[in-house]
Amino acid sequence: MTSAGRRVLVVEDETLVLINLEDILEQLGWSIAAQAMRLPEAERLASSVEALDVAILDVNIGGAKVFPAAQILRERGVPILFATGYGRDGLPPEWQDHAVIAKPYSQADIERALDRLLGADV
């Protein structure tokens, strides 16, 4: 998969986890189009950042749930990868059919999850 120049939106409220994810995505050749650590910012970016190829969303951000931002992205047709310490159990029924990655994750986990979500032959 060639990720060069492809754009990802990242929402993650814990700094260290975000730093790690940024590094992983850069290693994989992704370009971080925008990042948010709090829900209002996440919602704003979800509707305003253009040309997104994918979004990686932490489920619980600062005591709130990320779903309002996820809803905006879903309506835009942006593929979503949820990341949560709860694994798939952390998702309510209406989001169960979306891709999930359990924390903690490795670079290989992220690469596999994005390949599966976006198709390995892109």
Binding site for other proteins (CB under 8 A): 13-20, 23, 35, 37-38, 41, 58-63, 84-86, 89-90, 102-105
Evaluate whether 56 touches 81 at the Cβ level (below 8 Å).
Answer: yes
Query: What count of residues does the chain have?
Result: 122
Q: Which is nearer to other proteins, 3 or 105 (by Cβ)? A: 105
Least distance between other proteins and beta carbon 36 (Å): 8
Q: Which is nearer to other proteins, 53 or 58 (by Cβ)? A: 58
Q: Which is nearer to other proteins, 16 or 51 (by Cβ)? A: 16
Q: Which is nearer to other proteins, 103 or 118 (by Cβ)? A: 103
The token pair that represents 25 in the structure block: 């995505």
Least distance between other proteins and beta carbon 3 (Å): 19
Q: Please choose, from the candidates 47, 49, 67, the residue with its C-alpha nearest in 3D space to the C-alpha of residue 57.
A: 67
Q: Please choose, from the candidates 14, 22, 74, 81, the residue with its C-alpha nearest in 3D space to the C-alpha of residue 43.
A: 74
Least distance between other proteins and beta carbon 2 (Å): 24
